[in-house]
Chains A and B, each alone.
Chain A
Amino acid sequence: MNQLLVLIQKHKFPIGMSEKIMKKLQILADSAKYDVSCSSSGSKRKNTQRGLGNTNGMGICHSFTEDGRCVSLLKILLTNHCIYDCAYCVSRRSNDVQRVAFTVEEVVSMTMHFYRRNYIEGLFLSSGIFKNSDYTMERLVRIAKTLRTEHKFNGYIHLKTIPGASNELVREAGLYADRLSVNVELPTEQSLVKLAPEKNTADIVKPMSFIRHTIEENRQEIQLYKHAPAFVPAGQSTQMIIGASPESDWQIMQQADSLYKKFHLKRVYYSAYVPVQQDQRLPDLHSLPPVQRENRLYQTDWLLRFYGFSVNEIFNPSAPNLETDVDPKLTWALRNLHLFPVDINRADYEMILRIPGLGVKSAKKIVAGRKFHHLTLDHLRQFGVALNRARYFLICIGWNGYRRDWNAAEIKRQIIAGNTQSTQLSLF
């Protein structure tokens, strides 16, 4: 707040329009920041008719805020006016905050100006719900349409689907946007009922399922006629808040897994709950956001999507929550010592991928490199494998893996001790 005033004073900007738009931007960016998605990847949109912009499928993080999060898109709300009163949301109806709204032109112009200066990859537009769902959705669509048709803008557009919006509007949104997302908000229906009593699961599920089916129809259309307009080429994603409700990590990942399977989502985002107001249904206002837990959930998400793990391999009734001191892959390996050590010069790619401390890139290098030469620990070190974890779980020439008289607890102790030892050493 103070920094904003300093800025305005420093530059002696004419009081009036520019101050107003800065104020709006400050409020509407601040209330959009809890939406964690900032991805600008997964879409390939060529620059048509020598207009402005393209997306190349990779996604670019143009900057990083002091919390270490990527800034890729201009992520704002159209307005923070809202008819709903969801407990976890800073824009809830009963919250005493200043309410503002951008006009369609303001959002369009800011997006173009920022994009031309290479500040952003595109626009991520969400909104509080004013009047009703369709009224709000219609405005979001109009902004995307103006950018694409009037300004020949080919950068990335991510639109939030307003729960309860009509299928026609969602379909139109998907023709202009690269990605659509509908937030499930909370891991289970019980929590949604408790914290967002005016929302209902059906309103969230319906558009997700509509988007999934429209994407599939669109893929078939494009196969028949390759110039058919693409519908959300970067797919759909969703977000749930972690730590505002009592679900276990197992429940959260089961829900995520079923969302991936049911709606073919590109991503599920997990957002550590940041207390925004005192409410008896929620954690205390002064509690810290559970960032460590969020990190472990993302690691688990990666294990599901890129490492061939299933939810029930990672969790079981005696371990419904992830361990905080070690990563989920290591936890799994320690529970399944009978599968280790793995011979990196012989084992299948799938099994190599399951060695703790070793990622997809290293696994591929191992499989490619061992055709030329037997690999040793030195090779792995050069590939960037985290040997402090990996070495207990693999064998190769000159390395025999962990001592067979060690049990899981002992290996874990060694790994954690090794970690602290090396951090202590690096201080000097």
Chain B
Amino acid sequence: MVHFVYDGSFEGLLTAVFDVYEGKAERAQLFSIKTYQPDVFAERRDVFTDSVKANRVWKGLFRKSSPQGLLNVYSVYLSERTDRETLLLAFFRRVFAESVSIEDDFSSPLIVQISQISRQIHREKHRFEAFVRFIHLKGNIYFASIEPDFNILPLIGPHFAERYADQRWIIYDTRRQYGLYYDLQQVQEVYFEAVPDSLVLDLPSDQVEEDEALMQQLWQVYFQSVNIVERKNMKLHRKHLPIRYWKYLTEKKI
């Protein structure tokens, strides 16, 4: 057994697939350095991320895949599942082994599983297009913190850049400790040194714009007033709005 250990990036993962094929390693496994635990019975090979190699794998997939198929592969990567490398290597092997597109082969458990993971990620992405709540900070920046189950920031960036093209914003993932910052021109990744939870969740009032408190209250009043008490259905409420998201939602904070 040969263990290919890559740096954890998507490009690194694609490079690793390239190396597996180049080294003709039949019994290969991929690992991210971030989670790798050495095994004395396996040979370790380090993968050096190489954008040329990664591009060749991506193009190879591109030729045999629909846009949805490409998105599925990227989604499995973003899922942060411990078996994502195993699933993806098996998927690549099948894609490159067959002459026809196997993307719609729902008779294969592997394809069904990948499409299910992709659906999960897409659901989470869609949720966070909805559940981001910006706070208007002094200095005219709109700030939101989120804690998604999967690493969906790269997927929601373009949506927010298009929608809020005329305002500067930051969306910060508290679990993964990085954020996206849009400066009216482009979106870039940002890291903060040690942001305490309390700051992320409850910004001190001298840091927020004056209109912020009123708008939050208006939104809370609105949220309560549109509820139809006679139709109360908390089970449905929690199904659509899982409790783990509540602490970030302005309307659920009171």
Contacts and interface: CB of A to CB of B under 8 A. Distances in A.
Given A372-B105, A373-B107, A25 B251 contact: no
Interface in A369-398: 369-375, 379, 382-383
Contacts of A291: 231
Contacts of B215: 113-114, 117
Contact of A61 (B107, B221, B235, B240): B240
A51 B166 contact: yes
Interface string A26-70: 110110111000000000001100111110101011111111111
- By secondary structure, the B interface counts as helix
Interface string B171-184: 00000000000000
Nearest to A379: B107
B132 A118 contact: yes
Nearest to A362: B106
Interface stretch (B37-45, B51-59, B123-131): B123-131
B225 A63 contact: no
A171 B53 CA distance: 57
Give the bracket for the number of chain A residues in contact with chain B.
35 or more
A62 B130 contact: yes
A375 B167 CA distance: 51
Given A29-B225, A75-B226, A289-B231, A369 B104 contact: yes
A311 B131 CA distance: 38
Contact of A382 (B109, B235, B239): B109
B132 A67 contact: no
Nearest to B132: A118
B218 interface: yes
Interface stretch (A3-11, A91-99, A195-203): A3-11
B240 A33 contact: no
Interface of B: 102, 104-109, 112, 126, 129-136, 142, 144, 159, 162-167, 211, 213-215, 217-237, 239-241, 249-251, 254
Nearest first, the 5 A-B pairs at minimum CB distance are A68-B236, A373-B107, A369-B106, A29-B225, A67-B231
Given A70-B240, A372-B102, 8 more contacts: A7-B217, A11-B217, A26-B225, A33-B225, A62-B131, A110-B218, A289-B231, A383-B112
